[in-house]
């Protein structure tokens, strides 16, 4: 696998890799990945992330079952493969179905947790219930993780469907209330090629000096 590509190729090649091999991945590679993650910035350098690295087959199986049920309930993609026979799912649907069917076989499932913290804009008197996890700090960490996986030739995909069964997830993995699970990332050696991402170019997403202004570039 083409590991360690130059930076701009790396960024361009961080695809959501949903088809992974069951082959083992050495733990030292995961430490490299997670140590790239923790280089991310955070407000006042609070580093409000924690990781739960799941490799236990029983626990991966628990997660896989809940994940498949969540996909079925939200996207109508049947967890039972027989019910999907003959359906045209499209490229992303097929990749999602593969991920759902094989989740339990992937070597690692990484839960990235963020400490809960009220955003500044929520006034004290409106702070009811649990604060959201510190998304602003955790997502740069997540992106570093995805980049590091790609640099090492590992496949990974950012997933958020665990939100559907977050309470059970917290209870099962004994995650304290002070943290929320921000993303879950299956990690393993990729089955396919990395390819390039498809995105609208920045030139089309940018205005000059005020919203909507496409002329008068500096
Ligand atoms: C906030 C966020 C939530 C996402 N949730 C999921 C998810 O639950 N399951 C999944 O397979 N991919 C998820 N993705 C990955 C996107 O679907 C993927 O990056 C996008 O479709 C572009 O595909 P590409 O990265 O392969 O180019 C998520 C990405 C982001 C940033």
CATH number of 109's domain: 3.40.109.10
- Please give the residue that has the higher pLDDT: either 79 or 31: 31
| Total of domains in the chain | 1
Ligand 1 pocket test target in 18, 94, 160 with most atoms within 8 Å of CB: 160
Which pLDDT score is estimated for 7? Answer: 92
d(CA 155, CA 194): 8
Range of the domain at 131: 7-59+104-190
Q: Is residue 68 part of a domain?
A: no
Which pLDDT score is estimated for 85? Answer: 85
Q: What is the pTM of this model?
A: 0.95
Q: Is 146 in the pocket of ligand 1 (CB under 6 A)?
A: no
Q: Is residue 127 part of a domain?
A: yes
H/E element, 30: helix 27-37
Name the band, by pLDDT with cuts 50, 70 and 90, for residue 2: low
Q: Is residue 130 part of a domain?
A: yes
| Contact status, residue 159 vs residue 183, Cβ threshold 8 Å | yes
């Amino acid at each position: 696998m083409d590991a360690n590509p130059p930076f701009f190729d790396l960024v361009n090649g961080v695809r959501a890799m949903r088809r992974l091999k069951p082959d083992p991945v050495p733990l030292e590679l995961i430490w490299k990945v997670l140590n790239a993650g923790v280089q991310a910035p955070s407000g006042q350098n609070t580093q409000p992330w924690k990781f739960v690295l799941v490799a236990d087959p029983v626990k991966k199986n628990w997660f896989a079952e809940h994940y498949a049920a969540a996909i079925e309930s939200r996207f109508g993609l049947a967890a039972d493969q027989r019910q999907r026979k003959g359906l045209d799912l499209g490229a992303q649907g097929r990749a999602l179905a593969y991920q759902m069917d094989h989740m339990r076989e992937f070597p690692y499932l990484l839960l990235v947790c963020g400490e809960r913290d009220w955003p500044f804009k929520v006034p004290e008197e409106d702070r009811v219930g649990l604060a959201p996890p510190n998304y602003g700090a955790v997502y740069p960490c997540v992106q570093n993780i995805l980049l590091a996986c790609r640099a090492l030739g590992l496949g990974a995909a950012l997933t958020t469907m665990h939100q559907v069964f977050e309470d059970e997830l917290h209870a099962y993995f004994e995650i304290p209330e002070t943290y929320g699970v921000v993303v879950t990332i299956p990690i393993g050696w990729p089955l396919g090629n990395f390819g390039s991402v498809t995105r609208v170019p920045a030139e089309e997403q940018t205005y000059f000096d005020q919203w909507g202004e496409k002329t008068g570039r500096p």
